[in-house]
Amino acid sequence: MPVVLLFEDDPTIVAEFRRLCEPKLGTTCRLEVFPLDKPPSNSDKPYDDRVEEWIRGCAFYERIVLIVTDRDLSTNSLHWKGLSQTAVSAAAKVLGLPVAGYRRVRPNIIDEFKRIPGDGLIDLSPEVNLRSSQVASLSKGFIDLRQRLENWHENGDGVQEGATSKKRRGAQATAASPGALLAGVLKQPTAAGHFDTFACGDQVAINEILRFSRSDTNVRMSVQVHRRLVAALGVWLTDLVMKYPGVLVNTIAAASYLDIHPDDFVRPQVQELFKSARYTQLPFEDEDAPLWWRHLLDEMLSEAGCSNGRELCGKRMIKNVRFCPCDADNTLHAGYYCMATGKPISAEKSSGRVRWFPPGADLARLQAKTYRKLAPWIG
């Protein structure tokens, strides 16, 4: 059975997390806890080497799909004083394993936005109940992504040209760029170019993907390369592409983009209308936090000859659909998404000049007053 490995030095937090997370993992994964209460076999080595050595030697090393770690691991640890998430991440990078980290206390908005994506780490909620759901979704997503990558590599896009045709090499067919690779694995080739505009974000993940796409096709998919590639693709997808609206849009961002009031967008009739654009039956899908493919929303509007979602609702006889107001001025139409407030925002009342927002996240903005407050740290 696949394994999620937890690094946490507080036994009370371990017990609470286990109680909440294990039912959500079900029979998909097993939760194991790194033994911070036991001394390492070699105390002379750096912490990342000690962690790597322990993981390689454990009985479930080959089955680990995700490492989850607290940012600070030295508070209650007698034998691992000084251990931190940085050392755990360094060991995981060598092993080709994805890492998700959390703080026990929610950071203030300045500290949150000072955390620039690009360290190869998936950010988790400090709230344990939400964090347990995130870990369950991530672990299942990495398992799904691993299988999809294997299928892609063996069969190309998965479509057979004929009963006697040979399997096409996916690496040769679709790995011309990071975006083409991810689009091929998710079977959305139209989104390849847009995915590539996110490639300037998480450089730890992107470098792994580039290393694969530029290497000799005959030696690409070794066990270790496959492991590292799954981790890199998963981190890139979850920590950038799914978080910053551009290729994919969440409920509020979708409503804002379509110019539909968020309360009207979640009406069953409206949800059914845009159902075909949902990000569904794909890695890291979360039913409690749905996403939509932006290019598929655009195709729906274009085919119907509509300039926005409200027009399309009208054509389909869905009545009383209001426009999406800007959170800072409800007389303005929104169109964008504020990354700080999670609310619809207009171009007039926001700024997109945040240096580490991926270029492809063109719907991601900050409310103007929030931007002015944070500008010394994020400008």
Assign residue 82 the CATH number of its domain: 3.40.50.2300
Consecutive 10-residue averages of pLDDT for the chain (379 residues):
96 96 95 91 86 96 96 76 90 94 75 60 92 95 94 61 35 62 92 88 61 53 79 91 96 98 98 98 93 98 98 97 97 96 96 84 92 72
Distance CA 357, CA 338 (A): 12
CA distances from 121 to 130, 203, 239, 263, 291 (A): 18, 11, 8, 33, 21
Joined tokens for residue 72: 């600070």
Query: 373 with 272, same domain?
Result: yes
Residue 200 buriedness (CB in 10 A; 0-12 / 13-18 / 19+): middle
Q: What is the pLDDT of residue 224?
A: 76
Query: 29 with 103, same domain?
Result: yes
Q: What is the pLDDT of residue 208?
A: 66
End-of-domain residue from the set 198, 226, 241 = 241
Distance CA 313, CA 292 (A): 17
Distance CA 64, CA 102 (A): 19
* CB neighbourhood size of 35 (10 A): 12
C-alpha distance across the termini of the chain, in Å: 46
End-of-domain residue from the set 140, 155, 176 = 140
Q: What is the pLDDT of residue 120?
A: 74
Distance CA 73, CA 82 (A): 7
Q: What is the pLDDT of residue 369?
A: 87
Distance CA 5, CA 121 (A): 15
Query: 203 with 301, same domain?
Result: no
Q: Which residues contact 217 (CB under 8 A, 6 or more apart)?
A: 169, 171, 172
Q: What is the pLDDT of residue 204?
A: 58
Query: 374 with 254, same domain?
Result: yes
Q: What is the pLDDT of residue 160?
A: 34
- Look up the domain containing 314 and give its range: 248-378
Rounded to two decimals, the pTM is 0.86
Query: 279 with 363, same domain?
Result: yes
Query: 263 with 341, same domain?
Result: yes
Question: By 3-state DSSP, what share of the chain in percent is helix, strand and coil, each rounded to 5?
Answer: 45, 10, 40
Query: 18 with 95, same domain?
Result: yes
Query: 16 with 116, same domain?
Result: yes
Q: What is the pLDDT of residue 295?
A: 97
Distance CA 11, CA 50 (A): 21
Distance CA 17, CA 21 (A): 6
* Cross-strand partners of 68: 6, 100
Distance CA 286, CA 251 (A): 12
Query: 232 with 264, same domain?
Result: no
Joined tokens for residue 325: 């107001």
Number of domains in the chain: 3
Q: What is the pLDDT of residue 168?
A: 35
Cα R_g (the chain), whole angstroms: 22
* Cross-strand partners of 346: 335
End-of-domain residue from the set 199, 220, 241 = 241
Query: 237 with 252, same domain?
Result: no
Query: 216 with 341, same domain?
Result: no
Query: 136 with 146, same domain?
Result: no
Q: What is the pLDDT of residue 207?
A: 67
